[in-house]
Structure 1
Amino acid sequence: MELPTVMLPDVQANKPQIPVNLSRVGVTDVKKLVEIKRKGKRPVVLISTFDIFVNLPSSLKGANLSRNFEAIDEVLENALNAPVYEIEQLCSDVAINLLSRHEYASQSEVIMRSEYVVKRESPETKMECQEVVDIFAESTAYRTEGDEIDVRNLVGAEVIGMTACPCAQEIMRDTAKKELEALGVENKKIAKFLHKVPMATHNQRGRGIVSIETKGEYTVSLETIINIIEKSMSSSIVELLKRSDEAVVVENAHLNPKFVEDCVRAMARNIVNEFPDLPDDSFVVIKQINEESIHRHNAFAERAASLGDLRIEISEM
């Protein structure tokens, strides 16, 4: 005897007691294994954390959250046959898939965070090592009036480096000049010495953060973003250093002292130079956080602007 099919109630479809629209409903901290293809190289496998949202109209009590898991699993499964080369592309695919599953939603949002390993070598002995940087991507999909879907993607990275304080260094330079004068060293030799030998100063561990938001058809090189952040500080840092490598890192940092503000401005200039093909309406957020060594507080600087505005400012230099 065939048992009758039992229809379970769809509680989420009921009308809520308080009919208020919700901007975001979804799930957070969903961990997934993601494989990103690379042309001519081995694929990168990332342990990634996703936050996945849709908006919810006031007419519905709740969203069917299991559809969010179905959307991300379907996209990751499809990636095995249609390779994904950019993390923002993956987020975009999930965001579009979400709108197809949540027919009542006009907007979906996907946020992805991962750790990414890059190969580096020590500056003097050239020993190979690995550095870990934090990477992230976001995609927001909008349902238009004609039932088309527009997507804006964001990709970015956070990289740790090193900065040397210019202010304290000038004080030490002045002190060294007076001591050399007291020893009877002639001014020409003092100037030559101070130009050649970097003066002591206090250092900070710096955290540079860059994100670039574009329309869905544009892609942004994550490797380029990482390189921009690294070279915008006084010096990059390397996990594996011999004594001769340490000397080079310290000397290079002290020959290139930078305030937290200098780092943000250097990143802005490098972004303009490195991404000439991105449209002016791309939106850039640049942050630098310096963890002070002689203070309890941290130093912070930020610039948020369209790429077009940055191009105008850089061109007027």
Structure 2
Amino acid sequence: MNREIKIPSKKERHQLFGSVVPGLKTKPTEKLKMADLQNSKKDFLFSIDAVGISNVKHPVILLSDLSPNEQTTIANFKMTSTISYDSKGTNMSRFTEQLEAYRQNGGFVLSLNNLFDFTKELAERLKQNDASIEVTFPWFYERKGPSSALVGLNHSEATLAVTYEEGQGFTTSAKLTTAITTLCPCSKEISEYSAHNQRGYVSMEVEFTPDYHEQIDWKAALLHAAETNASAMIHPVLKRPDEKMVTESAYENPRFVEDMVRLVAADLYELDFIQAFTVQCRNEESIHLHDAIASLSYRKN
């Protein structure tokens, strides 16, 4: 049987668990009278390549060529700028102030044009010559079963990055990681019947050409490059006729990780809006203890 407890007042409870009476406060409470250490100017030895904030979760509006064409998702923001050797630090609150200003103006639409405006305005707010933003987010798109045409939502992880430098303009890059199925060519070749397959993950990091302004949805283009070169695609909804088609497709299109990165690279090479890329593939092996990995990088002339 529990003992009866006499609960003290909330103030007494707080004191019981360590709260103390506020001390005498002598420092200014008005912003203009407060010390601003971050804006101190001295010789602090080194310039800093990037300083700012990361792991900032924020809702964004995402446009897509694949259905759903407009969606709201949660993005993870990283925002930085450089500072020179004679600056003590940056003003961290200005990064989130900038983000909040965009939210209050109809929501943050995650497009390159919006990120161009954002980074330039951020540099001006920080009183720096540059600013960078990197946004990572899940991107959802419909996927139909190949026979039943039953629809479900698939998703990939995407990253969009923009850097602004005064007098130099903008540089842009992106990354997409998506899951695929691969079937082992060696297993198919040596076995009397069957072959082992595995879940694979294709990651594509691309650098856009200076004239790219999302005339083509980069997310859909990179997804197409990964999935159409795999043994089979991943589906959220599969009935038995769908499963038959998917497994037969995998058997008809065996792929090593080496095959995957070369085939995906060929597709990226043909995309005019990409000037450099890195392709990686990692297979979670189904009969081996290890993962299999491969990667390649290429820059067009």
Do the structures match in fold with TM over 0.5? yes
* 1:229 maps to 2:226: yes
Give percent identity, aligned residues only: 25
Amino acid at match of 1:212: V
Q: TM-score, normalised by structure 2?
A: 0.81
Q: Runs of 5+ in structure 2 lacking a partner?
A: 1-29
Structure 1 residue 216 displacement after superposition: 4.8
Contact preservation (8 Å) 2:49, 2:83: yes
Unpaired runs of 5+ residues, structure 1, are: 177-198, 309-317
Partners in 1 of 2:256 and 2:64 — Cα distance? Answer: 36
Give the Cα separation in 1 of the matches to 2:100 and 2:277. Answer: 30
C-alpha separation between the residues in 2 aligned to 1:213 and 1:299? Answer: 26
- Aligned partners of 1:169 and 1:201 also within 8 Å: yes
C-alpha distance in 1 between matches for 2:52 and 2:89: 10
User: Any conservation in 2 of the 1:92–1:216 contact (CA below 8 Å)?
Assistant: no
3-state SS in 2 of match to 1:140: strand
Matched, 1:270 2:267: yes
Q: What's the offset of the Cα at 1:152?
A: 0.7
CA change 1:283–1:5 in 2 (3 A) is: closer
Q: Say whether 1:213 aligns with 2:207.
A: yes
2:121 to 97, 108, 112: 97
- Secondary structure of residue in 2 paired with 1:61: coil
Counting only pairs closer than 5 Å after superposition, residues 265-304 of structure 1 correspond to structure 2 as 265-273=262-270, 275-276=271-272, 278=273, 282-304=275-297
Q: 1:17 to 1:150 in 2, by over 3 A?
A: closer
Q: How does 1:15-164 map to 2 (within 5 A)?
A: 15=41, 18-37=44-63, 43-78=70-105, 84=109, 87-103=111-127, 105-143=128-166, 148-164=167-183
Shift of 1:79: 5.7
**Which stretch shifts more, 93-102 or 120-129?**
93-102
Superposed CA deviations along residues 245-291 of structure 1, whole A, max 9, x for unmatched, are 11211111011000001111111111233x23x27xx2212111111
Task: Tell me the amino acid that sits aligned with residue 102 of structure 1.
Answer: L
Contact 1:88 1:155 in 2 (8 A): no
Task: For residues 41-63 of structure 1, give each alpha carbon's deviation from its aligned partner in whole angstroms, at most 9, with x where no partner exists.
Answer: 75221211101111111111110
Q: Give the AA of the match of 1:48.
A: A
Contact 1:92 1:110 in 2 (8 A): no
Which residue of structure 2 lines up, in the alignment, with residue 307 of structure 1? 300
Question: Of 199, 202, 211, which aligns to 2:196?
Answer: 202
**What displacement does 1:25 show?**
0.6
Structure 1 CA distance for aligned equivalents of residues 112 and 159 of structure 2: 8
- CA 1:10 to 1:216, structure 2 compared with 1: closer, same or farther past 3 Å? farther
By percentage of residues, which structure has more helix?
1
**Which residue identity is paired with 2:33?**
M
Does structure 1 conserve the Cα–Cα contact (< 8 Å) formed by 2:43 and 2:85? no
Identify the match of residue 252 of structure 1 among 239, 249, 252: 249
The whole-number CA distance in structure 2 between the counterparts of 1:233 and 1:42 is 25
Structure 2 counterparts to residues 163-182 of structure 1, below 5 A: 163-172=182-191, 176=192
